[in-house]
Amino acid sequence: MPVTRMDHRIEALESVVVQIQPLGNAVVGLKGDLEHLNARLGMELSKLNDKIEASLAVGRKELNEGLQILAKMIKGIPQESTGVTDAGSEMKSTASITELTGSKPGATENIVICAAEGSTRRRSGNALESWVQLLRFQLELKLGQFLGLE
């Protein structure tokens, strides 16, 4: 009996049917692998999120501590401050922080902050400037860690 066009189609279909089962098994295996990878990715992201939250909490704590120290330092520092009048022009006040806040000077009374000039002058030592540089360095370091630049 001669081979007909229909016979070729039947053979092609049989060939495809034979391949369905192995392909189905491969799809099931890939689905399992994908589920495993998805679960692992979720765990890794959770760990990374926890590290970021901890790092941010430490950074916020250090920043708050630094700001509190800075505020305590400034309370005892004589300062040439600027104020704004109702007309919007600047007026200079030579009142010290002690006079403005009623607090007694602290250990940092030798450092003068010139707020009107936006600079720090030193009478003796550079403790405030060093502290500000250290705080700035720590913040840059924490930001670098947060952004993964290290």
Minimum mean pLDDT range among 24-28, 62-66, 130-134? 130-134
pTM as predicted = 0.38
Please determine, for residue 92, whether its predicted confidence score (pLDDT) is greater than 80.
Answer: no
Please determine, for residue 132, whether its predicted confidence score (pLDDT) is greater than 70.
Answer: yes
Residue 149: the pLDDT is: 67
Q: How many domains does the chain have?
A: 1
* Mean per-residue pLDDT, 91-100: 45
Residue 125 near residue 111, CB atoms below 8 Å: yes
DSSP 3-state of 35: helix
Q: Which domain holds residue 55?
A: 5-147
Residue 145 near residue 55, CB atoms below 8 Å: yes
24/95: higher pLDDT: 24
Does residue 124 come out as left (phi exceeding 0), alpha (psi in the -120 to 50 range) or beta?
Answer: beta
Please determine, for residue 93, whether its predicted confidence score (pLDDT) is greater than 50.
Answer: no
